[in-house]
């Protein structure tokens, strides 16, 4: 598809305010039966994408990546023939593909999910649903309007966590959560800032950048380094935090946001290619909820694990820690997990089991839209943390009016990508 960057970006921005057609009007080609195979395609073949391919229990018909050499290498090793694409939009034109698995950098997630849903596909997203503040409401509307089955690592992991947490509590302990603490390792520092030549011919750098602000080609960004930048990733709060924050909202029963204060209590800076703060301590205060959500990097001195979540309820004032999807009590005299709980958690976690659950939801058309607000609001909190740390100050967000309170500079981050720094000079859409 021959499209210059101006045309591509214009189309990308327009896609975030799509013409929504109710699902009843669409010709979906029939609903999958209980025994019908699910035909999938993979978009993004980095480390996470390769893991998803290896664990995918469904039929894989196509793959897409901006790196043609990697794409052909991975496809060539696959057990069955697959069609390859460098442009995901061409992949979405295949009518025989039922669903797509997206494992691209964070700045692509919402737009690719929207395009896939508009093309009649169900979606599995690896990582946060959204990257910027304006994306969440649009993606949520599209999912609901098309009755799409949208799943993500966070969505399914949170269900594992909450169901296992229910097993740990007595029937009478459905009381209000008092406080939630989350922690993760420090973000890495450094990153090679030296300039690089034009990207090699087998890499479509324009497509990698997609809807984001312009950035010169850098090979480290393609190899996972994007995670440690504000423009493309967001740091560990957009990795571990996407599950921890979603679990916090789910356990607190917070389905809607009103006014959200983001208080920076500690923040370090760095000057390399990676620009997210290595050390960070944030407190999210939600006007419509008594609970405060505390985020800390690295873990405090009293923590004996590198990543986790602690939930305290008023019923027992007991603390539970989540490590890699498993729950542990803080009381060393208690049995950590009895056999039933241990078996439940072992069967619940794991990429393949989550993809199987996603496939089951596709067959049954179980859209699980009850979980969507928690995951979308999690993306909003992560984006708010990103704005606060980029500006190095605390902020208050008004979700109802979609703006920051008394901070016009912060409001630059609430619009389309054109409101962000690093803009391409001269482009009309900016």
Residues of each domain in the chain carrying CATH 3.40.50.720: 5-151+356-368
> Is the pTM value of this prediction over 0.85?
no
- To the question of domain 5-151+356-368 being in CATH 3.40.50.10800, the answer is no
Residue 100: predicted pLDDT: 98
Residue 380: predicted pLDDT: 93
In the predicted structure, residue 265 carries a pLDDT above the cut 60: yes
Lowest mean pLDDT among 14-18, 124-128, 383-387: 14-18
Residue 390: predicted pLDDT: 92
Residue 178: predicted pLDDT: 76
Residue 88: predicted pLDDT: 96
Provide the percentage of residues in the chain whose pLDDT is more than 90: 49
∠ CA(327), CA(330), CA(335), 5° rounding?
70
Mean per-residue pLDDT, 271-275: 87
* Integer Cα distance of 361 and 35 in angstroms: 13
- 288-316 as b/e: b if 16+ CB within 10 A: ebebbbbbbbbbeeeeeeebbbbbbbeee
Mean per-residue pLDDT, 247-264: 89
Residue range 157-190+221-343+378-419, CATH number: 3.30.360.10
pLDDT in tens, 86-120: 999 999 999 999 999 999 999 999 999 999 999 99
Residue 230: predicted pLDDT: 93
pLDDT in tens, 129-149: 889 888 888 899 999 999 999
In the predicted structure, residue 321 carries a pLDDT above the cut 90: no
In the predicted structure, residue 420 carries a pLDDT above the cut 60: no
Q: Secondary structure of the chain: what % helix, strand, coil (to 5)?
A: 35, 20, 45
In the predicted structure, residue 27 carries a pLDDT above the cut 70: no
Do residues 202 and 75 touch, judged by C-beta distance below 8 A?
no
Q: Is the dihedral of CA 212, 202, 93, 120 positive or negative?
A: negative
Residue 17: predicted pLDDT: 47
Beta bridge partners of 257: none
Residue 162: predicted pLDDT: 67
Mean per-residue pLDDT, 55-73: 96
Which of 255-264, 294-303, 338-347 has the highest average model confidence (pLDDT)? 255-264
In the predicted structure, residue 7 carries a pLDDT above the cut 90: no
* Integer Cα distance of 402 and 137 in angstroms: 10
* Integer Cα distance of 248 and 311 in angstroms: 8
Residue 332: predicted pLDDT: 32
∠ CA(403), CA(409), CA(411), 5° rounding?
20
Confidence of residue 60 (pLDDT cuts 50, 70, 90): very high
Residue 305: predicted pLDDT: 61
Residue 95: predicted pLDDT: 95
Residue 110: predicted pLDDT: 93
∠ CA(149), CA(150), CA(152), 5° rounding?
140
Instruction: Report which of residues 378 and 427 the model is more confident about.
Output: 378
Confidence of residue 44 (pLDDT cuts 50, 70, 90): very high
Residues of each domain in the chain carrying CATH 3.30.360.10: 157-190+221-343+378-419
């Amino acid at each position: 598809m021959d499209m210059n960057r101006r045309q591509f970006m214009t189309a990308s921005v327009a896609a975030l305010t799509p013409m929504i057609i109710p699902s009843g009007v669409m010709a979906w080609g029939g609903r999958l039966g209980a025994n019908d195979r699910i035909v999938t395609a993979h978009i993004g073949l980095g480390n996470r994408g390769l893991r998803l391919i290896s664990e995918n229990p469904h039929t894989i018909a196509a793959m897409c990546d901006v790196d043609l050499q990697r794409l052909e290498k991975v496809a060539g090793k696959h057990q069955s023939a697959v069609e390859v694409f460098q442009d995901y939009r061409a992949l979405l034109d295949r009518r025989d593909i039922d669903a797509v698995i997206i494992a691209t950098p964070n700045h692509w997630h919402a737009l690719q999910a929207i395009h896939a849903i508009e093309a009649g596909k169900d979606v599995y997203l690896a990582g946060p649903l959204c990257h910027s503040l304006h994306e969440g409401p649009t993606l949520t509307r599209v999912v609901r309007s098309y009755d799409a089955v949208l799943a993500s690592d966070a969505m399914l992991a949170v269900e594992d966590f909450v169901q296992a947490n229910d097993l740990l509590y007595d029937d009478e302990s459905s009381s209000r959560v008092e406080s939630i603490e989350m922690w993760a390792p420090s973000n890495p520092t450094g990153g090679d800032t030296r300039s690089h030549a034009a990207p090699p011919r087998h890499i479509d750098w324009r497509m990698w950048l997609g809807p984001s602000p312009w950035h010169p080609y850098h090979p480290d960004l393609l190899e996972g380094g994007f995670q440690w930048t504000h423009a493309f990733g967001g740091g560990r709060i957009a990795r571990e935090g996407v599950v921890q924050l979603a679990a916090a909202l789910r356990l607190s029963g917070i389905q809607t946001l009103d006014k959200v204060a983001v208080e920076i209590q500690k923040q370090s800076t760095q000057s390399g290619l990676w620009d997210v703060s290595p050390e960070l301590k944030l407190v999210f205060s939600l006007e419509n909820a008594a609970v405060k959500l505390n985020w800390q990097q690295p873990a405090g001195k009293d923590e004996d694990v590198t990543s986790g979540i602690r939930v305290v309820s008023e019923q027992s004032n007991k603390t539970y820690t989540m490590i890699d999807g498993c729950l542990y009590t803080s009381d060393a005299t208690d049995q950590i997990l009895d056999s039933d709980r241990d078996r439940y958690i072992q069967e619940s976690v794991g990429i393949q089991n989550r993809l199987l659950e996603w496939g089951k939801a596709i067959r049954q058309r179980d859209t699980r839209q009850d979980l969507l607000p928690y995951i979308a609001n999690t993306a909003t909190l992560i984006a708010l943390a990103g704005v606060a740390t980029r500006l190095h100050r605390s902020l208050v967000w008004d979700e109802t009016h979609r703006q920051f309170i008394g901070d016009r500079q912060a409001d630059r981050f609430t619009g389309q990508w054109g409101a962000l720094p690093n803009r391409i000079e001269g482009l009309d859409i900016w």
